[in-house]
A and B are shown apart, each in its own frame.
Chain A
Amino acid sequence: MSADGGYAVILFDSVTQCMWAEKLITKTSIPYKLIPVPKNISADCGICLRVALADAAAAEATLRGVVEYRGVATIPGRE
């Protein structure tokens, strides 16, 4: 999954929430990568889940109501 075209990151308040969320996302077919939170974003937990922009909505739907997440941030692509 190349990140040059921009991507979305799902942010969390704690590592435990992130790990729990990862278990849920793994069960779907959504490609993701666990990465440190990009430097220009601040979050309580330093780890987030990166997904393609097109998959952000599906990823959120998977987590909504099951595991808490802080929000979804969009990282624009490099020119």
Chain B
Amino acid sequence: MSHTIDCRGMACPEPVIQTRKALETHSEITVIVDNETAVENITRFAENLGGSVAVVRGADGIRIVVNKGGEPAPLDAGRPAAAAPAGGPLVYVLAAETMGRGDAELGSVLIRAFMHTLTEASRRPDVLVMLNAGVKLAAQGSPVADDLKALEAKGTRILACGTCLNFYGITGKLAAGSVSNMYDIVETMNGAASVITL
């Protein structure tokens, strides 16, 4: 019989943390969640372990049966699942919709110029982490959406914090990147060769 954990009402990244803990002592668990972001995050977590999920949506919640494949990685394993160059990936953190403090309009001009230049640079970040208002840069209609798509096409991974997307009401409106969570973001930053916060 599957060990069940009820993660309804828990804010991201708690469902993933609870899933990881439970998988330390059980090889199969059922996680009950109440939002799609948690489903995506737990699915990606399980697949990174080499495990699998089965999702059943019901009126009172979403039941995810998680089967672990191998050993769950300890919290500070470091390297993200995707292959990183020796020394770790180059990570940029965008924690605002603009660049720099002072005039907001100038900040908007700067971030747009920056993104354009980045697409043409010979060295580009391996990962972009978007936090707080920074997630708006990755949303449909954003002035840098096309540049972010171009960066993705060239191999940059873009992680947009799910809690932030939800806060700004733009979940499901990403033009580039994927919905992420603080667990992935912390692992990415800890495993990076360097982290540059814009």
A residues bordering B, Cβ < 8 Å? 15, 18-19, 33-36, 46-47
In the A-B complex, the 6 residue pairs with the smallest Cβ-Cβ separation, listed nearest first, are A35-B116, A36-B113, A34-B112, A36-B117, A47-B113, A47-B109
Question: Contacts of B76 on A, CB cut-off 8 Å?
Answer: none
Is there an interface contact between B109 and A35, defined as CB atoms closer than 8 Å?
no
Provide 10 A-B residue pairs closer than 8 Å at the C-beta atoms, listed in order of the A residue.
A15-B109, A19-B106, A19-B109, A33-B116, A34-B109, A34-B113, A34-B143, A35-B116, A36-B113, A47-B109
- What is the number of residues of chain B that contact chain A, defined by CB distance less than 8 Å? 8
Question: Contacts of A36 on B, CB cut-off 8 Å?
Answer: 113, 116-117
Cα A46 to Cα B109 with chains together (Å)? 11
Question: Contacts of A15 on B, CB cut-off 8 Å?
Answer: 106, 109
Cα A34 to Cα B109 with chains together (Å)? 8
Tell me how far the C-beta of A24 lies from the nearest C-beta in chain B, rounded to whole angstroms. 15
B 106-138 binary contact with A (CB < 8 Å = 1; else 0): 100100110011000000000000000000000
Cross-chain pair count, CB within 8 angstroms: 21
Interface majority SS on A: helix, strand, loop or mixed? Answer: strand
Question: Contacts of A34 on B, CB cut-off 8 Å?
Answer: 109, 112-113, 116, 143
Is there an interface contact between B106 and A35, defined as CB atoms closer than 8 Å?
no
Cα A46 to Cα B113 with chains together (Å)? 10
Question: Contacts of B106 on A, CB cut-off 8 Å?
Answer: 15, 19
Interface majority SS on B: helix, strand, loop or mixed? Answer: helix
Cα A34 to Cα B42 with chains together (Å)? 39
B105 interface residue (CB < 8 Å to A): yes
Cα A19 to Cα B109 with chains together (Å)? 8
Task: Add 10 more A-B contacts to A33-B116, A47-B109, A47-B113 (CB < 8 A).
Answer: A15-B106, A15-B109, A18-B109, A19-B106, A34-B109, A34-B112, A34-B113, A35-B116, A36-B117, A46-B113
B 77-116 binary contact with A (CB < 8 Å = 1; else 0): 0000000000000000000000000000110010011001
Task: Choose among B106, B113, B143 the residue with the greatest number of A CB atoms under 10 Å from its CB.
Answer: B113
Cα A19 to Cα B105 with chains together (Å)? 8
